[in-house]
Each structure stands twice: as C-alpha cells, then as structure tokens.
Amino acid sequence: MAIVERPTTSEALELEAGPRHASPDDALGVFRRPQGDTGWRSWLFTVDHKRIGIMYGAAALFFFLVGGIEALIIRTQLAAPEQEIVSADLYNQLFTMHGVTMIFLVVMPIGAAFANFLVPLQIGARDVAFPRLNAFSFWCFLFGGLFFNSSWFLGGGAADGGWFAYAPNTSVIFSPSHGMDFYAIGLQITGIASLVGAINLIATILNMRAPGMTLMKMPVFTWMSLVTQFLLLFAMPVISVALFLLTFDRLFDANFFDVSAGADPLLWEHLFWIFGHPEVYIMILPAFGIVSETIPVFSRKPIFGYEFIVFSGAAIGFMGWGVWAHHMFASGIGPISVAAFAVSTMFIAVPTGVKILNWMATMWGGKLTFTTPMLFSIGLVTMFTIGGLSGVSHAVAPADTQQTDTYYIVAHFHYVLFGGALFGFVGGFYYWWPKAFGHMLREGLGKAHFWTMLLGFNLTFGPMHVLGLQGMPRRTHSYFDGYGFNVWNLVSTIGAFMIALSFLIFFWNIFVSRRDARKPEWVAPGPDPWDARSIEWMTASPAPTHNFDHVPVVTHRDEFWYRKYGETDDHRIVRIAAAEDVAQTGHRRDVHLPAPSYWPILLCASFPLIGWGLIFNLGIAFAGGALALLAIYGLAMEPADDPDGGHGHHDGHADHTPTDGSDAAASPTDGDADKETTLVD
Amino acid sequence: MTDNAPTRVAATPTEATGPAPDHLDGVDLESWGLGTNNATGLSNNKLGMWLFLGSDCLLFGALISTYLLMRHRGTGIGPEDVFDIPFTSVSSFVLLMSSMSMVFAVSAIARGDDQKLRLWLLVTSLLGGTFIAGQVYEFTSFYREGLGYTTNLFSSAFYSLTGFHGVHVTVGIIMLMSLFVLSLTGRLKQDRAETVEIVGLYWHFVDIVWVLIFTIVYLIP
C-alpha cells in the first residue's frame, strides 16, 4: 500500500532518541517488531527474499508429496481393469485435487521459489522492491493451499470438477459437496499471492538492477521471470473474475452459469482459458530460464543467441494470449474460430522451437560435463520436445477432436509439465543448492535420481499416448477388460511408482548431504562450485542476508565469468583470477536491511477464516475480515524499516530499505550523513 | 596492463566491485535502485501502483465482457426497464468532479500546503461518498422494482460489475480518509507528496473505469 512504506528519516531519528513507547509507530503497532535472525520465529516473520524463496520451495515440495500420493492412488486404481479400490466419486476428487495441487501449489510456487531466491541475487539487489509484500505473497499462497486442501476434511468431499472446472458441472446441482467452494475461494487466495508477487518482482527487475546491468545484460533466468510475472499480472485478474462468478453462483444463487436461466457455460471456458493458456507459459518459462543458466555453464560456452532466447521468451509472452481457444475445439465455437486458433497455436511453436535450437547450439562444440543439473537440463530439452510435438498435433483441429478428453492429452501435458517444468526445476535445485544452503547435494545420488526419474517418467506417460489413441478416455475411474488397455496401464502404474522411488532418492539425498556438511572433514564448496557465469555466484555460499558486500558494477553479460576469464591478443581465453578472489566474502555487517514483520503472516491468516466463513458461517467471515482490516492497517502504518534493526546491523539507520530512496535523501542530520558517507565507496 | 596481458584486470579480493564505468562516477552505489537511481525513473511504490492498475484493467475487462454477454440473454426485467439515466448522469458527474479535487489535493501537498491538502482530500472523499450513496439509492430502487441479485442474468451481471466498481470507490475513500487522518496527526508532510499522488492514480483509474461502465452499461442500448 502506498501510504506506508516510507518513514521519514527524521522520524526514525526521533525514535532512536526518545523513549520507545512514545513513538507514533508503536502507537499503531500492537507488538514490538520481531528481532533476530535465528530460530523458528525468524522464519515466520522474515522478509528476506532468500528465506522466502526457500520456504516457497519447501512448501511446494510438501504439496508435491500430497499431489504425488493422490497420483499414486489414481495409478493403483487404474493398474488393472474393473478395480474398485476407490469409488468413482472419490476418483473424481482425486484427479481434481491432484491437478489443482500440482499446478497451483507445486509448479507455480517452485517457479516463485526460484524467482524470489534468484532474481535479486542475479540483478545485484539487496532484496525485492517490497520485502513485506513478498512475505505476504508466500503466506498467502501457503494458507490458500492449506485452505484448499482442508476440503478433504471439512468440505464433505474435496473438489471434483476437474482442474478446469467446466460449468455447469460445478453448479450446486451437479457438485453438491462444498468441494468446489473450496476450489473457487482457495484459488482466489493463491491468485492474490501470485498477483502481489508479480507486482513485486516486476518492480524489482525494472527498478533495482545493479549499475550497468541493462535489460540486455540480465541473466536469462531473470528475463524469463520477468515475462512470467507479466503473464501473471494480466492472467490472474481474469481467473479471479471467473472464480468470483462461480462463487457467487454457488453461494449467492447468481445466474452466471445457470443454463435454465439462459446462461452460456462457454463463458466459463473462455474466461478460464484466457487465464489458462498464459498459465501454461507461467509454468514453463521459469524452467526455460533455469536451463538457460545451467546449459552454458556445463557446456563452458556462453548461451547461443542470447537475444533470440530473450525475444522468443517475450514473443511467447505475447502470443500466449492468442491461443486459448485451442482448449475448446470440441466445444462448438465455430469453424472460423477453430481455424484461427489452430493457426495461432501452430505459430506459437516457433518461438518455443527457437529456444530448443538455442540450447542445442549452446551444447554444440562445447566441453560438456554431465553433472546432475546438466542431466536434468538435457532431460528438459528432450522430454519437452516430445511434449511440444504432441502439442503441435493438438493444433490440427480435426485430430484434436479425436484426441480431446483422451489419455493422449494427459500424456501431452505431463510431458510438458513434468518432463519440461519439473525436470528443469529439479535441475535448478541441484544447481543452486550450494548457494541456498552452503553445501552441495551428492552427485552420485543425484544421478541415480535422474535416471530413475527419467525411466519412471517415460514408463508412466509414454504409454498414455498409445492408450489415448486407442480411445481410453481420461477422468473415468475404471475400464473394462478386453479393450486392449490392460498392459499399458500396468506399465504406467509401475512407472508411477518408479517416479515415487526417484523422489525418495532425492529426499534421501537432501538428508545425507546435510549430514555430510556437519562432519568435521567436510570441505565447503566455496562461492562458485560450478565455475558459473552470473553474479549470484559472486557472493558467499550460502548467500549472506545482505546478498552483496558491495553492489557489483556490471559491464558485461555473464559479468562473473568476465571477471574470472580474459582474452589474450591472439584470442585465447585464459583464466585471470580465481573465483575466491573475485567473489565477495559476505562478511560485511553494516548493511541496513528491512526489518521482519508480524503483519504479513497475520494478514494472510485471515484469508482462510474469511473462506470458511463464507462457506459455513458468515460470523467467522466477519471475524476474519476484522483481522484482515487490522492487519492491513498494521502493515500500512508500520515503517518498512525498523530503527532497532532486525539483522544486527550497526549503521546509522540511513534508510537503505528497498522502498523509496527519497526518504534517505530527504533530511539526514549531520551525524547520519557522516555515516552515510562511510557507506559510499 | 601490458599488450599481451588479458584485457581485463581482476578486482582485488577486498574491493570486488570492479572498476566503475565513467558515467557512474559520483553515483551512490549503496543506495542504487532504492529510489534515486531507479532505471524507470519511477519509485518502486509508484511503479507498483501502475502495475496493479494494469492488472485491474483486466479485472474490469472480464467483468464488462461478462455483462455484455449476459444483458440480453435472460428473461424478465431488462436494463431499459430500470435505468434512470438523468440520475446516474448526475452521480457520474459528481464522481468526475472528484478527480478534479484529487488533482488539487496532489497539487496542495506538492506545495506543502497542509490546510488545502486536507480540504481537498475531504472534498474528494465527500464527492466519492456522494457517488456511493447514489449507487446505494439506485440499487435499492432497482430492488424495489423487482430486480434482485438472483432475478435473472442481467441482474447478476449488472450488480456484480457495478458492485465491484463500488467496492473500488469505497476502498479509495478509505485510503483518502486515512491520508486525511495522517495529515491531521502531522505524519503526512510535503516530503511524502508521492503517497498522495499514488492514491490519486488509483482514484483517477476508478473514475476512468466508471466512464467506461457508464457508457457501456447505461448509455449504449
């Protein structure tokens, strides 16, 4: 909120001098500001983008377990024909919850995890533009996800309308449990999280790049994050409206999707897919960004055609808005619409293909090292290509009318989302793990993880192409013997459990690597274990709270590499400095950082209350609303920066919060100004 | 640096910032990006508000599309049966005038004139409040004429669209009144003029959206 983020410097100084209880900030703050950066409280109230990124990742992995267990139950049910391990009704809930969980609570948040953790580090900033709103985004996502999953226990049945929840299937008549209410309100809450996060990260990337880092010098991951956040910025309000209409229909008897009152259920499909297709790129572009970082490092070459990678990403961002109706070829939208969207869908394969070619050309002639992150990156390139090709086959509208609602579609989107996004993300985990936690994950276990995951993935989803073309419909809870579905379904189920095994290896790897790092003979990997290229490796591992001791001045794309390597007159590349000599130590202690805050988590805690209240008892909703109002004012009136400092920094409270520097410049006293100059190099 | 040496000299371990380009001489690198040196020239707060407004365009775009699709599909009471164009024209005029008083408020705090700032904040809030009161009166009279929220497609779409706009105006009034109180307690001085300007951006946006809604919903048959 605009009112708030900027305490004047004079006010902060008054506080320091005067007794604390008399200060205007305390009058509006119920509590003392949280202090310190150890213990569980420091995580609950943190505004540090790196901790928030780590929490996004941890929460997403938790939801990944939930969604994974749902998937295993589905595959167990389908392992053999005519089984009744789960009822048809429960099966509907399982595939709906699996889809929504994996999309909104796993893939999107992991993208947010990487964006939060990496973007400020990659652009040489101290934090994001609005650190407390960043904490708000995370808690909002987490509480929204927990609220949504609480429908298993409170809703009389979880959501059962499929992840895209076509009207009028989702009306009270056809879906009488509260599951779809939890769906509509839960996604509304996580949507707020995405929207606020998008505003925050766009402002960060546009405003807070290190000096010299022009847009075309930014690392590719930051570029892809920027495109993703713009897609979120414009896609979230559309699904918000769709979800509002659904909520009003279900809770307040509005008529938006009531066919008997003359409504057109196609409205839902259009609104959903105008959001839903950009959403596809929201999920895949961060992973594209990740492999665009790892492949050059492990090929020991700069990325091939940086401009092409960047502009094809931006082109996907624009064209992604013009293809939504290819999800609706079977819904009777008319031949002209079908033809137009078929053509635009084929066309959007071009910028995606450009990226694939760029990655291959980067590897071509490079000195490849097949580390775990590289293996997963190559996994993305290959698996996503398969998914991309089956995707182009949907653009052929006559073929699509045969494929739609069969397992062929299921195979396609798992190849792009699992084979694409998740392979990239897991590769990113292995790659940036030392930067986040200070120790590497074990390579041997990592490779075992990769090969079991690759094999399990292809065993699970490869056969689904065949099943789909044979005519096996998706979303039916069983199938008859003798249709020729038996073998491939069994193979698919075996593959699913192999994927589960691969993630057990991953979690075991996390555990033992952490244990290794506590042994006395353990050697720290140093700031730059991979001989990397971008500036997040130019600070200590794990990255210190203040990111950089000195804001780096950027003169090159791949700045860090240019500080380590030079070119002789006869064009040989030679090493001119060790990474340890170039990298900053992270020991500086006088950087003033934004203070932790109670309000983001309190504000977000009110959202599930409002949600449950709307469904069960308006009294609870009003209580939640009151808490929200209180917390909004608390958040708004509290200075973004606490003069007592939360991070043990000892400067003169010059306002170095990433808010608005005009405050710092406004009226520093002499003493403050002196300290200010000591900070300036 | 000799001729055969690598063309770039590594920074020393302690001063790892690298040589600053000439055009960055004298630039305060510590507060880089925190307000004074922003690449866009906008502060983070103002940029954030612009981005939010961009997003809000899509929210109203989707709601207006929904209304256009719905208004002639249902049965029963239609737009032409209930709308009182002269009345709504007056309340629209009131809302438009509030944009002017908002400009005066922004101008007042830019000059450091706290009295005028409070006056114009109050006037803007009152004009906004008058508009909301008009909307409440309008909804009530429509309801008396038999147009409830659940009556038909037109009513659901109309109340949702104008209701969302009404909520936006109400939030704006709350922000204006908060600024008024902050100014009274001496916590909103000239150095925070931008805060008022940012609330002003929001207020103007809400007005512009109303111009669209009034034209599309009320005036175009």
pLDDT in tens, A470-483: 999 999 999 999 99
Asked whether the beta carbons of residue A129 and residue B15 sit closer than 8 angstroms, the reply is no
- Is A73 within the bounds of a domain? yes
User: Are the CB atoms for A418 and A457 separated by under 8 Å?
Assistant: yes
pTM for the structure as a whole: 0.90
Residue B34 has what pLDDT?
A: 54
Token output for A418: 């699992």
Residues A677, A593: Cα–Cα separation, whole Å: 17
Q: What is the CATH number of the domain that holds A264?
A: 1.20.210.10
pLDDT in tens, A643-664: 554 444 333 333 334 443 333 3
Q: What is the CATH number of the domain that holds B168?
A: 1.20.120.80
Compute the radius of gyration of chain A from its Cα atoms: 26
- Is A34 within the bounds of a domain? no
Nearest 5°: the CA angle B26, A209, A422 is 160
Number of domains making up chain A: 1
Asked whether the beta carbons of residue A8 and residue B192 sit closer than 8 angstroms, the reply is yes
Whole-angstrom distance between the N-terminal and C-terminal Cα of chain B?
A: 77
Over chain A, what is the mean pLDDT?
Answer: 88
Over chain B, what is the mean pLDDT?
Answer: 87
Residue B27 has what pLDDT?
A: 57
- Is A676 within the bounds of a domain? no
Residue A40 has what pLDDT?
A: 85
- The DSSP output letter for A566 is E
Instruction: Identify which of B22, B34, B17, B10 has the alpha carbon closest to the alpha carbon of residue A681.
Output: B17
- % of chain A beyond a pLDDT of 90: 80
- Is B90 within the bounds of a domain? yes
Q: Mean pLDDT over residues A223-245, rounded?
A: 97
Asked whether the beta carbons of residue B39 and residue A574 sit closer than 8 angstroms, the reply is no
How near does any CA of chain A get to the CA of B9, in Å? 7
Q: What is the DSSP string of A223-236?
A: HHHHHHHHHHHHHH
Token output for B126: 């009152």
Asked whether the beta carbons of residue B195 and residue A256 sit closer than 8 angstroms, the reply is no
Q: Which residues of A touch B17 (CB under 8 A)?
A: 550-553, 681
Q: Mean pLDDT over residues A491-517, rounded?
A: 97
AA letter at B154: F
Distances (CA, A) of A207 to A128, B44, B104: 10, 7, 29
Give the domain extent around A416. Answer: 42-516
pLDDT band, residue B6 (cuts 50/70/90): very low
Residues A529, A434: Cα–Cα separation, whole Å: 8
pLDDT at position A3 over 90:
no
Strand boundaries in A537-616, DSSP class E? 565-567, 573-575
How near does any CA of chain B get to the CA of A214, in Å? 9
Residues A50, A155: Cα–Cα separation, whole Å: 35
pLDDT at position A603 over 60:
yes
Token output for A264: 């057109």
How near does any CA of chain A get to the CA of B141, in Å? 19
pLDDT in tens, A74-131: 999 999 999 999 999 999 999 999 999 999 999 999 999 999 999 999 999 989 999 9
Residue A299 has what pLDDT?
A: 96
Asked whether the beta carbons of residue A662 and residue B59 sit closer than 8 angstroms, the reply is no
How near does any CA of chain A get to the CA of B207, in Å? 19
Give the domain extent around B192. Answer: 44-219
Q: Mean pLDDT over residues A35-58, rounded?
A: 89
pLDDT at position A642 over 70:
no
Residues B150, A309: Cα–Cα separation, whole Å: 50
Question: Residue B197's closest chain A neighbor by CA?
Answer: A2
How near does any CA of chain A get to the CA of B92, in Å? 24
- Is B133 within the bounds of a domain? yes
Examine residue A658 and say whether the peptide bond preceding it is cis (omega within 30 degrees of 0).
no
- Is B33 within the bounds of a domain? no
Q: Which residues of A touch B40 (CB under 8 A)?
A: 206-207
Least confident of B30-34, B35-39, B46-50: B30-34
User: Are the CB atoms for A232 and A166 separated by under 8 Å?
Assistant: no
- A234: nearest CB among B4, B55, B191: B55
Q: Which residues of A touch B165 (CB under 8 A)?
A: none
Token output for A21: 């209880």
- A237: nearest CB among B18, B62, B73: B62
Asked whether the beta carbons of residue B189 and residue A8 sit closer than 8 angstroms, the reply is yes
Which has more pLDDT, A591 or B135?
A: B135
CB pairs below 8 Å between A and B: how many?
251
Which has more pLDDT, A681 or A185?
A: A185
Asked whether the beta carbons of residue B59 and residue A574 sit closer than 8 angstroms, the reply is no
Q: Mean pLDDT over residues A387-396, rounded?
A: 93
- Is A539 within the bounds of a domain? no
pLDDT in tens, A421-475: 999 999 999 999 999 999 999 999 999 999 999 999 999 999 999 999 999 999 9
Q: Which residues of A touch B153 (CB under 8 A)?
A: 255-256, 261-263
pLDDT band, residue A33 (cuts 50/70/90): confident
- Is B88 within the bounds of a domain? yes
Residues A12, A26: Cα–Cα separation, whole Å: 12
- Is B9 within the bounds of a domain? no
Asked whether the beta carbons of residue B39 and residue A207 sit closer than 8 angstroms, the reply is yes
Question: Residue B199's closest chain A neighbor by CA?
Answer: A2
Asked whether the beta carbons of residue B69 and residue A3 sit closer than 8 angstroms, the reply is no
Nearest 5°: the CA angle A381, A385, A391 is 145
Q: Which residues pair with A567 in a beta bridge?
A: A573
pLDDT band, residue B162 (cuts 50/70/90): very high
How near does any CA of chain A get to the CA of B155, in Å? 9
Residue B171 has what pLDDT?
A: 97
Asked whether the beta carbons of residue B160 and residue A254 sit closer than 8 angstroms, the reply is yes
Token output for A570: 């006869």
Residues A14, A9: Cα–Cα separation, whole Å: 9
pLDDT in tens, A246-280: 999 999 999 999 999 899 989 999 999 999 999 99
Number of domains making up chain B: 1
Residue A590 has what pLDDT?
A: 79
- Is B39 within the bounds of a domain? no
Nearest 5°: the CA angle A445, A451, A453 is 95
pLDDT at position A11 over 50:
no
Q: What are the residue ranges of helices labelled H in chain B?
A: 44-70, 79-82, 85-111, 114-144, 153-184, 193-213
Nearest 5°: the CA angle A449, A423, A161 is 110
Question: Residue A232's closest chain B neighbor by CA?
Answer: B55
Number of neighbours of residue A142 by Cβ within 10 angstroms: 24
- Is B38 within the bounds of a domain? no
pLDDT at position A41 over 60:
yes
- Is A446 within the bounds of a domain? yes
- The DSSP output letter for A175 is -
pLDDT in tens, A549-590: 888 899 999 999 999 999 889 989 899 999 988 999 888 877
pLDDT at position B2 over 80:
no
Give every CB contact of residue B116 below 8 A, 6+ residues apart in sequence.
Answer: B104, B105, B108
pLDDT at position A2 over 90:
no
- A130: nearest CB among B48, B66, B152: B48
AA letter at A474: R
Residues B56, A469: Cα–Cα separation, whole Å: 42
- Is B60 within the bounds of a domain? yes
- A658: nearest CB among B34, B37, B66: B34
Asked whether the beta carbons of residue B34 and residue A576 sit closer than 8 angstroms, the reply is no
Instruction: Identify which of A652, A663, A604 has the alpha carbon closest to the alpha carbon of residue A628.
Output: A604
Asked whether the beta carbons of residue B69 and residue A264 sit closer than 8 angstroms, the reply is yes
